Amino acid sequence: MSNGTLYIVATPIGNLNDISKRALDVLNHADIVACEDTRTSGKLLNFYNINTATTAYHEHNADSQTPKLIEKLQGGQSIALICDAGTPLISDPGFRLVRAAHEHDIQVVPIVGACAMVGALSAAGLPSDKFSFMGFLPAKSHARQKLLEDYKNRTETLIFYEAPHRISECVTDMAIIFGDEREATLCRELTKTFETIKKLPLSELLTFIQNDPNQQKGEMVLVVSGQTKQSTQENYDNWLLALAGELPPKKACGIVADVLGLKKSEVYDRLLALQND
Ligand code: SAM
């Protein structure tokens, strides 16, 4: 008996039309649909008149369910894994099952489709050539701030998932740690009725969120610009002025240029511009 196939199927993140024909075919023809929550996914399956048997596969039963599902795959059954919304494994369960499938030489086939982070990045208006997906930040502020400090000098675009009741705290921390002027885009309720995509410097984005309680509701992705040459400069202005107050200008510029890997002449020009302001 040859092994069955494990399909990783993306489902909509709000708008039920965002599902591919291929995903519907796979969900119809699989022997089992493994769902993060059978009731949530039942609504989607009912909507598309799909009667395939379902089983629960989530964070809390992954240890016990993974070997059972692998056994079924080895017995020739095909399984479609879905999560509550979007692409499985992206801040959602599935990793242990996919890893086990590879270990048992079971074919894994992705059925691509909706994913909130990809949708957000595509509409954020921030550089998309290099980016990192950071998932959810820690809920506790100390841990969150520590992690943001680690991310501060990264130059690629950063993508975060965030819970609505923490968005205000999170953007506050980002404005303090990354700087008020760092550009960010709030992508809220993507594909749904109240979809909002707002790109502003962090301090203005915070005001936008705090002035409208609706912006603290629903599902959201925050896309944040990486450290740019411009933001590096904003950060070093204060150091440069402070050092130039204590040391000869050339010495002060030399230190800043060395630490930040910039040209001395560039830093010197900046100092002159700041002093002339
Ligand atoms: N697997 C999903 C995916 O492919 O995007 C992500 C699941 S994760 C548990 C849920 C988080 O994804 C939400 O808290 C939110 O940050 C983001 N998200 C999901 N749907 C969204 C939507 N329609 N608009 C904005 N963000 C969404």
pLDDT in tens, 152-196: 999 999 999 999 999 999 999 999 999 999 999 999 999 999 999
Q: Ligand 1 centroid to 54 CA: how many Å? A: 22
Tell me which of 108-112, 121-125, 131-135, 265-269 is least confident: 265-269
* pLDDT of 232 higher than 80: no
Q: Do residues 254 and 212 both lie within one domain? A: no
Q: Do residues 248 and 218 both lie within one domain? A: no
What secondary structure letter does DSSP report for 89? T
Residue 102 CA, distance from chain mean position: 25
Size of the chain in residues: 277
Count of domains for the chain:
3
Atom 2 of ligand 1 has which residue's CA nearest to it? Answer: 86
Q: Do residues 189 and 141 both lie within one domain? A: yes
3-class DSSP assignment, residue 151: helix
Q: Do residues 196 and 254 both lie within one domain? A: no
Q: Could you tell me which of 224, 253, 231, 204 has the C-alpha nearest to residue 160?
A: 224
Pocket of ligand 1 (CB under 6 A): 13-14, 83, 85-87, 90-92, 115-117, 161-163, 187-192, 219-221
Provide the percentage of residues in the chain whose pLDDT is more than 90: 90
Q: Do residues 130 and 209 both lie within one domain? A: yes
Provide the percentage of residues in the chain whose pLDDT is more than 70: 97
User: What average pLDDT does the segment 10-27 reach?
Assistant: 98
Tell me which of 129-133, 135-139, 190-194, 225-229 is least confident: 225-229
Q: Ligand 1 centroid to 93 CA: how many Å? A: 13
CA end-to-end span of the chain: 78
* pTM (predicted TM-score): 0.86
Q: Do residues 219 and 255 both lie within one domain? A: no
> Pairing mode, if any, of strands 53-56 and 32-35?
parallel
At which residue do the structure tokens 């050339």 appear?
250
Q: Ligand 1 centroid to 91 CA: how many Å? A: 8
Calculate the alpha carbon distances from 114 to 13, 37, 185, 236 in Å: 6, 18, 19, 40
Q: Give residue 248's domain range.
A: 229-276
Atom 8 of ligand 1 has which residue's CA nearest to it? Answer: 91
pLDDT grade, residue 259 (50/70/90)?
confident
Q: Do residues 94 and 129 both lie within one domain? A: no
Q: Ligand 1 centroid to 207 CA: how many Å? A: 23
Tell me which of 58-67, 69-78, 145-154, 237-246 is least confident: 237-246
Q: Could you tell me which of 22, 45, 20, 14 has the C-alpha nearest to residue 32?
A: 45
User: Which of 89, 187, 219, 224 best tests ligand 1's pocket when mutated (most atoms within 8 Å of CB)?
Assistant: 219
Ligand 1 closest atom vs CA 188: 25
Q: Ligand 1 centroid to 190 CA: how many Å? A: 9
Give the per-residue pLDDT at 277: 80
3-class DSSP assignment, residue 140: coil
pLDDT digits (tens, 9 = 90+) for 39-52: 999 999 999 999 99
Buried b (16+ CB within 10 A) or exposed e, 19-40: beeebbebbeebebbbbbeeee
Structure tokens, 219: 């599902």
Q: Ligand 1 centroid to 118 CA: how many Å? A: 10
Structure tokens, 203: 């301090």
